[in-house]
Amino acid sequence: MHTSHIAPRNEAHQGAFPQPLELLQRLANTRLPIRVVDHGEIETLRILKLAGSIKAAIPEAAHPPGGLHRSQRQLPATVDEITRLGRAMLERFARPSRGRTLACSAGPCL
């Protein structure tokens, strides 16, 4: 399994929220399953999962002990596959790929 910050570093800062269709297209250009660690990308994955476009394990954000801090720590998400509906969305609405893929690195599996 790969670990990914899906948005290349020169395109979006950590925690940016990519467009769902753009993220779906980039997922289609990589080998799945993939582990996603960026908070913004994980939030976009939630939208894709709710829409039925992907199958993914997305943990809830972990609350710090005591609940006194506003920040939440997000555990990595794992995208297992793009569904038939997700592929149909890509065929209908995605722009032709410019060969851009996910920035993956071999990392520990969940």
CA distances for 97 relative to 23, 29, 72, angstroms: 12, 9, 34
pTM, to two decimals: 0.69
Read off the pLDDT of residues 25-60 as tens digits, 9 standing for 90 and up: 999 999 999 999 998 999 999 999 999 999 999 998
Consecutive H or E run containing 45: helix 39-50
Q: What CA–CA distance (Å, rounded) separates 16 from 23?
A: 12
Q: What CA–CA distance (Å, rounded) separates 99 from 110?
A: 28
Read off the pLDDT of residues 66-98 as tens digits, 9 standing for 90 and up: 555 555 678 999 999 999 999 999 999 987 755
Consecutive H or E run containing 24: helix 20-28
CA nearest to 104, candidates 55, 21, 33: 33
User: Domain coordinates of the chain in residue numbers?
Assistant: 2-64+73-97
